[in-house]
């Protein structure tokens, strides 16, 4: 493999505590190294910003619900197609881009790792086929567990060991990465036409509460010592007053300590926090609960969060929170798709327009920015748009601009039709913090990598780590003349390396790298009871046989990378 040296760039690397110093980054055989030979290819990064490849902790980029969005929204592709260009295949879609466009767009922005946030286990083959067809970026997928019949039945009797054995089995057969929970119990309740809006609402038939599911899954996750923690989209998403449910959910993690060998410190990751930080009793007195939520997170080190920034675009919402999507179509009257995934989960899809002329959307925009600006530790707060729910991931550079420039925020606030309402219902107008490049690297690289248990592999530029490197046309020594320059610089990298292969040059794709599927192989003690339960459920309830369930082989996971976990207990 070839050698590279990225010379004279301003390096920002929280892993090594480098804050913009001029440093050379050497790459050899796919890894960051201390030095390379004189024949190494030189990349001139003078007056440029150098960071590790960014890590996406939560996005919906592969699988049946993403594809359903693509199928039922031809209008999303209408004026957003990109023809074949250089070595890029044609792509299309604005809020739900095709797999190829997804890979290219992430890479061009300097992202080299991304996590698909909700994999329905029954459709893991479909998820992996799309991951396979998404070029360049390393990807993992989180199977959903919060409404799974096995989990509900085991945790009803607090059988943590059985739950853990089931999780280990499911991660292995679906090539999954982490334990995802969406509206615990609520999506299952939706099959009865009900929902769980608090952590104490019982799930019909199963007679278990969301609180028991969440605590049980944290216990099982730590019993296994998985790389990532339980990753939760709590109950009561998107409703005024939901911040109380969010606080109750986070309190369930009290007393738990992370137990793993991957350097992870949290036991609960709260996702798209913006959607869970609403105060008020209805859409008229709707206001921000960002302070209450971030106050709690700031005090409790066993929690990490991501933001879920609203980008003020027309987009496509999609979630395993089936009842929420039904609720949403009732609000905006746009087309609604819904599916029930047998014993496991459900999903819904509804298009949504975050209009700057609607006060609720503008307040959501403000809350999404308040959260990272109120977080004291950028290593525990990661920037996402919950793509495509709060906006397409292609808008990250715009979110960075808003976070890094009060002037950019003021410009946007002044452009809102209901500016006064935004200022009275949130505190966005009084926050003058501007996220630094170092903090940005924490929020988009080192932080999410650590939370995912990947800190030894990516998110930093320490020798020995994977050579995922992004070079931006951004000179940190020069004052920003126009905040839009931030957006421009972070939209298209000067150069990107993925595992030591250059994949982007001057914003154009020049290589497709060495794409891998990350998954977690947890070894547990033999558990005949769980294996029997699985076999029985397939015979009795599943519409497919157990033999057809597994995502395996070259067709589905052609280039796997397993994180090995020894969870055998003496």
Q: What residue ranges bind another protein (CB under 8 A)?
A: 72-76, 78, 333-335
Nearer to another protein, 78 or 539 (CB): 78
**Helices 290-299 and 359-374 meet at what angle, rounded to 10?**
20
Nearer to another protein, 29 or 75 (CB): 75
Strand partners, 119: 143
498 near 468, Cβ under 8 Å? yes
CB 75 to another protein: min, Å: 4
Name 470's Cβ contacts closer than 8 Å, sequence gap at least 6. Answer: 50, 51, 52, 53, 54, 110, 111, 112, 493, 495, 496, 497
Residues 445 and 451: their CA atoms lie apart, in Å, by 10
CB 79 to another protein: min, Å: 9
Nearer to another protein, 46 or 335 (CB): 335
Strands 287-288 vs 314-319: parallel, antiparallel or unpaired: unpaired
CB 10 to another protein: min, Å: 42
CB 78 to another protein: min, Å: 6
| Unique residue bearing structure tokens 């020995």 | 464
| Unique residue bearing structure tokens 């606080």 | 247
Strand partners, 350: 317
Nearer to another protein, 72 or 538 (CB): 72
CB 72 to another protein: min, Å: 7
Phi, psi of 541, rounded to the nearest 5 degrees: -120, -40
246 near 367, Cβ under 8 Å? no
369 near 309, Cβ under 8 Å? yes
CB 522 to another protein: min, Å: 42
Residues 533 and 150: their CA atoms lie apart, in Å, by 8
By residue count, the chain amounts to 570
CB 31 to another protein: min, Å: 43
Nearer to another protein, 102 or 329 (CB): 329
CB 254 to another protein: min, Å: 44
Helix (H) or strand (E) holding 424: helix 419-425
Nearer to another protein, 223 or 352 (CB): 352
Taking alpha carbons only, the member of 241, 230, 362, 363 closest to residue 293 is 241
Structure tokens at 146: 């919060």
Name 1's Cβ contacts closer than 8 Å, sequence gap at least 6. Answer: 28, 29, 30, 500, 501
CB 100 to another protein: min, Å: 18
CB 76 to another protein: min, Å: 8
Nearer to another protein, 184 or 392 (CB): 392
Strands 138-143 vs 337-341: parallel, antiparallel or unpaired: unpaired
Nearer to another protein, 71 or 544 (CB): 71
Nearer to another protein, 335 or 433 (CB): 335
Nearer to another protein, 360 or 563 (CB): 360
Q: How many CB atoms lie within 10 A of CB 448?
A: 31
Residues 18 and 150: their CA atoms lie apart, in Å, by 46
């Amino acid at each position: 493999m070839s050698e590279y040296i990225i010379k004279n760039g301003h390096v920002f690397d929280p892993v090594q505590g480098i804050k913009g110093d001029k440093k050379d980054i050497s790459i050899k055989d796919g890894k960051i190294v201390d030095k390379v030979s004189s024949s190494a290819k030189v990349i001139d990064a003078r007056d440029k910003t150098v960071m590790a490849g960014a890590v996406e902790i939560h996005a919906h980029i592969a699988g049946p619900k993403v594809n359903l969005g693509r199928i039922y929204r031809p209008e999303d592709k209408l004026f957003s197609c990109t023809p074949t260009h250089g070595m890029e295949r044609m792509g299309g879609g604005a809020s739900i881009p095709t797999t190829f466009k997804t890979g290219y767009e992430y890479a061009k922005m300097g992202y080299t790792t991304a996590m698909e946030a909700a994999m329905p286990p029954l459709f893991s083959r479909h998820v992996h086929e799309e991951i396979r067809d998404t070029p360049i970026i390393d990807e993992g997928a989180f199977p959903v567990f919060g409404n799974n019949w096995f989990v509900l039945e085991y945790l009803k009797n607090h059988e943590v060991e059985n739950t853990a054995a089931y999780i280990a089995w499911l991660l292995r057969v679906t090539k999954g990465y982490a334990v995802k929970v969406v509206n615990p119990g609520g999506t299952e309740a939706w099959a009865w036409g009900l929902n769980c809006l608090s952590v104490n609402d019982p799930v019909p038939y199963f007679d278990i509460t969301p609180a028991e599911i969440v605590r049980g899954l944290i216990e099982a996750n730590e019993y296994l010592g998985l790389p990532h923690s339980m990753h939760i989209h709590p109950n009561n998403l998107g409703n005024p007053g939901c911040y109380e449910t969010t606080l109750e959910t986070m309190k369930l993690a009290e007393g738990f300590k992370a137990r793993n060998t991957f350097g992870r410190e949290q036991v609960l990751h709260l996702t798209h926090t913006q959607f869970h930080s609403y105060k008020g009793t209805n859409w008229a007195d709707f206001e921000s609960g960002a302070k209450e939520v971030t106050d709690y997170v700031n005090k409790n080190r066993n929690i990490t969060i991501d933001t879920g920034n609203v980008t003020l675009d027309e987009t496509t919402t999609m979630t395993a929170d089936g009842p929420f999507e039904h609720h949403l179509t009732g609000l905006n009257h746009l087309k609604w798709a819904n599916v029930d995934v047998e014993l496991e989960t459900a999903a819904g899809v509804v298009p949504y327009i975050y209009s700057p002329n609607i006060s609720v959307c503008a307040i959501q925009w403000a809350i999404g920015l308040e959260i990272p600006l109120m977080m004291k530790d950028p290593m525990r707060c990661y920037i996402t748009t919950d793509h495509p729910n709060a906006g397409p991931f292609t808008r990250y550079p715009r979110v960075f601009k808003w976070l890094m420039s009060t002037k950019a925020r003021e410009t946007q606030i002044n452009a809102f039709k209901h500016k006064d309402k935004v200022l009275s219902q949130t505190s966005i107008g009084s926050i003058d913090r501007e996220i630094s490049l170092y903090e940005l690297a924490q929020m988009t690289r080192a932080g999410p990598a650590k939370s995912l248990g990947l800190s030894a592999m990516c998110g930093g530029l320490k020798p020995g780590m994977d050579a995922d490197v992004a070079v931006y046309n951004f000179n940190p020594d020069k004052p920003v003349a126009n905040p839009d320059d931030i957006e421009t610089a972070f939209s298209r990298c000067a150069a990107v390396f993925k595992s030591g292969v250059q994949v982007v040059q001057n914003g154009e794709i020049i290589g497709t790298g060495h794409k891998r599927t990350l998954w977690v192989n947890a070894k547990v003690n033999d558990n005949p009871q769980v294996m029997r339960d699985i076999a029985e459920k397939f015979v009795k309830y599943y519409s497919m046989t157990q033999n057809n369930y597994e995502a395996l082989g070259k067709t589905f996971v052609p280039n796997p990378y397993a994180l090995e976990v020894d969870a055998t207990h003496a």
